[in-house]
Amino acid sequence: MKRKILIILLCSSILSTTAQLAWEMEEINVDSLQQVLPGLKGTEKIDALNKLSLALCRDDPDSSITIAQNTIALSKQGSYVEGQGDGYFNLGMAYAFMDSLKPSIINYLNALRIYEGIEPSNELAETLLELSLLNWIAGRYETARKYCSKAKDI
């Protein structure tokens, strides 16, 4: 009985977060972002590139991956830790849409390490839930439960 309750809680948390991310991806206007990008610099440019990568991850995961890799490199050059975390999260998301479980988990774990170094945030909770979902899909139920529990605490 306890296991069934955990499964229900896990699924509802994941579905809620996934729905929120899908809504955020729909909200982003790709054309508008591409128009303003040339005039942006520093962290503003990295944040815009990360938004673009997130917006493209479902419909054009290859472009999303390329953009995310660029944002990670730019973030490392500028020591912008949050930008790196967002880039790795976007890589995880794009690979998940490509049904590439291993690279998706690896990139979410990279994002997790970064987000854990920053105060608890929605990004940390979303990353934990995504890791929970992917581990659930992979049949690693105890690991999925662990990530979901950590996300719940945040």
CA–CA dist 114, 62 (Å, integer) = 23
Tell whether the model's pLDDT for residue 19 goes beyond 50.
Answer: no
Whether the CB-CB separation of 69 and 91 falls below 8 Å is answered with: yes
DSSP, residue by residue, 34-61: HHHGGG--HHHHHHHHHHHHHHHTTT-H
Length of the chain: 154
Residue indicated by tokens 């005039």: 39
Summarised one tens digit per residue, pLDDT across range 47-80 is 999 999 999 999 999 999 999 999 999 999 999 9
**pLDDT at 91 > cutoff 50:** yes
This prediction's pTM: 0.81
The pLDDT of residue 12: 54
pLDDT surpasses 60 at 23? no
What's the gap between Cα 22 and its chain centre?
11
CA distance 10 to 136: 9
Average pLDDT over residues 121-127: 90
28 pLDDT higher than 70: no
Q: Is the pLDDT reported for residue 8 higher than 60?
A: no
- Of residues 37 and 60, the one with the higher pLDDT is 60
Q: Give mean pLDDT, residues 11-20.
A: 52
